[in-house]
Structure formats: structure tokens, C-alpha cells
């Protein structure tokens, strides 16, 4: 009997993505897997059931009960985990440190789980890096949000009524999201400046036509991430940033540290120093925001400044975000599927480090320590 690969309809509020698009679903079928799709699983991403000719469409209970491997986008609930057969495999985003009750359910059901956010950032795993693929979507959308909320044009315009100067956009954080925000803002005609505590990003920023702001604070971390700044470094950073941000028409912040609250880079006093009509798009709102005043999931006005704290931004570009995520899953799972059978190679660094639970145990040490620490 072929391995059954199940795709549920996402139940999280506002989640429009689906784990597999039709093209990738067909490719899994050609690898010898039986693809099972929950009814209307792809509808919100504009993939109707009829677009999956090689998948079997099932109701909710069946798609869970018959799953050997389930792939999903948003973290599961306890109820969803409990519907899976004991010993099944679950792949998706988990953010496990936030949900000890889900971890307990995974252990109880002896679910083999792989967290896409734990895939190591090494060259060989770039095609599997779902954090990066979805961050690219968010960065693109952030620039459009800034342009939409701004009371100013982004490009320079020469009109019969005179010449309009281009907007100045500042991007904080030059990771995947920040670089995509820079590129998109530049395409829209804005003057763009960017800052990152990782000096290695300077060349990438400048290659996109933006000016790199050197504030004299560097914080190179492991795995391509920035380390957390000391209090003195934070103070130096904020003082140096204030003068630049005061001139910005749109500020896009993207600085996040996985598993921790977003660093507060923009205090209330800095917001008060911004020009009338300025916009802050805080892409770090999921972790509380880079701006002290950000209210996650809301758009507010503080004085004359608009502060936008969007959540789950990739879901707003659901079709392409789903296609990108599905390819990440395909590239991640393909090495584990041999002759139509699911056979993970535990000597493979990518497989071993992305594993969250196995045989009733939490095998990812940082998650285990975080949950044990919260329980004590």
C-alpha cells in the first residue's frame, strides 16, 4: 500500500495558504505517494479541488485518520494532532516553544514531527528554507503596504503641476524580508536607505541600489542571524538611527530573532520625531514589533505617524506563497522518500536538526529546555 500524504485545509484565522499546490502534489504522486486532499484545502489560495487531478479529495475526518504523512502550513492545534494516527509524521511550521500543550499531544500520539523553521541555514538546505521563501513574500508586500498607507508618491514625478520629489524609505534589517522590501521600494521609484547590524549585508544592500547606513554597531550572530545587542549597543544604535528616521517618509522594520521577542529598535520618542504623515510598517509584529508602539494586527496613528503591525503577511499573497512553500516541502521530503517508502536518514544533518519529536520524545533540545523551563 502506498504511503498516504495528506493535505488539510488550514484552520488558523486568516490563513489562506495551502501546503501543496497542484504541481507539487502531482510530483509527489509520481514518486509513488498517494496524495489525499481535504475538500477545499486550496480554495483560499485559488487552487480549487479540480486543479488537483492526481489527488483524492476527502472529508476532514478521513484526511486526518488516513494520514501516514501530513504536510501543513500553520502550527496544529491539540485537537488536530489528536486526530492523527499514532506514529504518523507531521511536517509544517510549529513555533513549538509557544505551545507546550501541542508538544505534549505530539509526544502522547508518538508523532514524528519536523518543523520547517528548524531547517538549518546551510547551503545544501537553501531550497528547503521556508522561512526565507515566506520572508521574501512578506518583504515584497511590506513595500506595497508602505506605499498604500503613505500620503506621498514613491517615485519622482514630473507633472504639469511641477516636479514631485521621490519618497525616502528606510528599511531596518537586511535579511531576506528586508532585501525584498528594498528591491520592491526601489522598483516603485523611492530613494531607499537600509541598516543592519550585520556588516556583511552592506554589499547586498548596495547591489539593490540602496544606501547602507553604517551606525558603528555590529552584531554578527550564528546561522546568518544577528545576535542580541547589549544595552549600550542598543542605546548607540537608537541615537544614530534617530536622525535618519526623522527624515523618512516610510520606515519598514524587519528585525526578528527566532524564538525570542522582536528587539525594540524604535522607541516612542523616535516616533514623535518623525515627520507628519510618515508611515511605519512593522514586519516584526508577530514577535511584538520592533517599534515600542506597534499593536500587532492593528493600524494605529500616534500623533501624525501611522504605525502598521501586520500579521501573517505571506498569507496575503496566498497563491505564490503556497507555491513557494510547496517547493520547500518537496525539496525537504524528497530525500526521505526512496522507492515509494518513507525512510529518513538520521545521519543527515538537515533531517536530524529539523526533527522536533520522535518516538514520544522532544528531540530538539532548545525546545525541550524552553518547555521544561516554563513548566518549572
CB atoms < 10 A from the CB of 208, how many?
Answer: 19
Is 129 among the residues known to form the active site? yes
Active-site choice (54, 225, 227, 368): 225
Catalytic residue among 46, 98, 121, 260: 121
Q: Is 282 a catalytic residue?
A: no
Distance CA 18, CA 361 (A): 28
* Marked catalytic residue, from 46, 59, 124, 126: 126
d(CA 270, CA 305): 11
d(C-alpha 152, C-alpha 224), whole Å: 35
121 is catalytic: yes
* b/e map 92-109, b = 16+ CB within 10 Å: bbbebbebbebbebbbeb
Residues 6+ apart with CB under 8 A from 177: 135, 136, 138, 139, 142, 254, 283
| Residue keyed to cell 536530524 | 352
Q: Is 205 in contact with 194 (CB distance < 8 Å)?
A: yes
Marked catalytic residue, from 36, 52, 68, 129? 129
- Residues facing 362 on adjacent strands: 357
The one catalytic residue in 132, 133, 134, 322 is 132
Is 232 an annotated catalytic residue?
no
Query: Which amino acids are annotated catalytic?
Result: 121, 126, 129, 132, 225
Amino acid at each position: 500500500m502506498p504511503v498516504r500524504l495528506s493535505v488539510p485545509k488550514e484552520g488558523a484565522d486568516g490563513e489562506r495558504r495551502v501546503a501543496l499546490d497542484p504541481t507539487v502534489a502531482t510530483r509527489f504522486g509520481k514518486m509513488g505517494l498517494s496524495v489525499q486532499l481535504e475538500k477545499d484545502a486550496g480554495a483560499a489560495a485559488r487552487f480549487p479541488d479540480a486543479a488537483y487531478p492526481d489527488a483524492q479529495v476527502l472529508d476532514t475526518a478521513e484526511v486526518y485518520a488516513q494520514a501516514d504523512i501530513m504536510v501543513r502550513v500553520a502550527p496544529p492545534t491539540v485537537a488536530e494532532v489528536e486526530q492523527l494516527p499514532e506514529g504518523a509524521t507531521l511536517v509544517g511550521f510549529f513555533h513549538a516553544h509557544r505551545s507546550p500543550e501541542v508538544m505534549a499531544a505530539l509526544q502522547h500520539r508518538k508523532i514524528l514531527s519536523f518543523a520547517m523553521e528548524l531547517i538549518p541555514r546551510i547551503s545544501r538546505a537553501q531550497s528547503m528554507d521556508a522561512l526565507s521563501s515566506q520572508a521574501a513574500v512578506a518583504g515584497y508586500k511590506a513595500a506595497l503596504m508602505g506605499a498604500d498607507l503613505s500620503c506621498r508618491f514613491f517615485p519622482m514625478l514630473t507633472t504639469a503641476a511641477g516636479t514631485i520629489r521621490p519618497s525616502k524609505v528606510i528599511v531596518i534589517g537586511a535579511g531576506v524580508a528586508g532585501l525584498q522590501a528594498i528591491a520592491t521600494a526601489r522598483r516603485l521609484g523611492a530613494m531607499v536607505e537600509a541598516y543592519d547590524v550585520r556588516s556583511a549585508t552592506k554589499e547586498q544592500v548596495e547591489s539593490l541600489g540602496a544606501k547602507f547606513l553604517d551606525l558603528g554597531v555590529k552584531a554578527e550572530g550564528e546561522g546568518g542571524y544577528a545576535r542580541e545587542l547589549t544595552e549600550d549597543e542598543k542605546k548607540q544604535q537608537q541615537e544614530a538611527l534617530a536622525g535618519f528616521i526623522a527624515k523618512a517618509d516610510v520606515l519598514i522594520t524587519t528585525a526578528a530573532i527566532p524564538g525570542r521577542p522582536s528587539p525594540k529598535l524604535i522607541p516612542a520618542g523616535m516616533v514623535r520625531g518623525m515627520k507628519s504623515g510618515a508611515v511605519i510598517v512593522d514586519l516584526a509584529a508577530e514577535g511584538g514589533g520592533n517599534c515600542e508602539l506597534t499593536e500587532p494586527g492593528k493600524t494605529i496613528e500616534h500623533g501624525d505617524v501611522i504605525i502598521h503591525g501586520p500579521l501573517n503577511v505571506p498569507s496575503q499573497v496566498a497563491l505564490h506563497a503556497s507555491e513557494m512553500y510547496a517547493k520547500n516541502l518537496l525539496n525537504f521530503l524528497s530525500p526521505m522518500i526512496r522507492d515509494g517508502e518513507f525512510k529518513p536518514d538520521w545521519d543527515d544533518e538537515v533531517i536530524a536538526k529539523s526533527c522536533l519529536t520522535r518516538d514520544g520524545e522532544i528531540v530538539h533540545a532548545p525546545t525541550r529546555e524552553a518547555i521544561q523551563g516554563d513548566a518549572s
